[in-house]
Amino acid sequence: MRIIPAIDIIEGKCVRLTKGDYNTKKIYNENPLEVAKEFEDAGIEYLHVVDLDGAKASKIINHKVLEQIASKTNLKIDFGGGLKADKDLEIAFNSGANQITGGSIAVKNPEVFESWISKFGSKKIILGADFYPDTTGGKIATNGWQEESSLQLIPFINDYQSKGIQYVICTDISKDGMLQGPSFKIYEEILKESVAIEEPRIKLIASGGISTFDELPKLAELGCEGVIIGKAIYENKISLKQLENFIIG
C-alpha cells in the first residue's frame, strides 16, 4: 500500500483544515517545499497536493508551489483543487503533476471529466469521491466540500469505474482532520462492490481520519491501494520513521 502524505496549500503555505472548514485553518509551514523534502528524506515517493485556494476559486491557483516541489524533489505528485477546464490540467501537468484529481467536475460536468479520462488516460486521472456519511452510505460533496450533491457514494464510484476510472481517492469529510480513525467499513463496501464490475479494478486510496500507525496495516489488509495521511503527521501522531519502516517492511 502506497503511503501518500498530504500538503494542503493556502496562499502558498502548508496548512490543514478540519472537516474542510476554511475557518479552522492552521499553518504548519510557510514553505511547502521544506515539508516535501522531509517526506522524501524519509523514503516516501508520493505526495498529495491540494490547492485549497483553487478549490474556492474553481481554477488552478497555487501551481507555482507545485512546480517548485516537482522540480526540486523526485516525489510523484497528484494534484487537485479547483481543476475545471483543460487549461487547468495543462498547467498542472506542465508544472510537474504526475496525476490530477477531479472531484466537483466529475459531479457537475461529467462530459468534461470523461473527456479527460480519454485524453490523458486512466493512469493520469483520479476520481475524487469526497462524501458526507449518511444512512444510505454517503452523499458526494462538491466545491471544496461547501455543497452536498444528491449522488450516492458507491453508485458514483461504480459509474466511473465502468467508464474507465482506476484511481479513486475517497474522503469521509466527517472524519477529515479529526484524528478519530478512517472509515474502514465504507472502504470495505466500496472494494466489495467494485469487484462485481468489469475491469479495471479500483485502486482505492483511503483519506480522512488517519490517526495512528496501527490503522495502516488494517487498510492494507482491506485492499486499499494507497492511504493519504495529513494531520496525523503534522501533529506527530505518526512519525516519519514509522512510515519509513512501513515502506521498507
Angle at 144 between CA 143 and CA 145, to 5 degrees: 90
Residue 130 appears among annotated catalytic residues: yes
pLDDT tens, position by position, 25-65 = 999 999 999 999 999 999 999 999 999 999 989 999 999 99
In the chain, domain spans = 2-248
Query: Which residue in the list 51, 78, 130, 172 is annotated as catalytic?
Result: 130
CATH for 2-248, options being 3.50.50.60, 3.10.180.10, 1.10.645.10, 3.20.20.70: 3.20.20.70
Which pLDDT belongs to residue 64? 98
Of the two residues 236 and 141, the one the predictor is more confident about is: 236
pLDDT in tens, 119-157: 999 999 999 999 988 766 789 988 767 777 889 999 999
* 134 annotated active-site: no
Rounded Cα distance between 75 and 47, Å, is 6
* Cα–Cα distance, 140 to 149 (Å, whole number): 6
Annotated catalytic residue within 8, 51, 88, 172: 8
Question: Do residues 129 and 170 lie in contact, with contact meaning Cβ atoms separated by under 8 Å?
Answer: yes
Nearest to 80 by CA among 111, 121, 113: 113
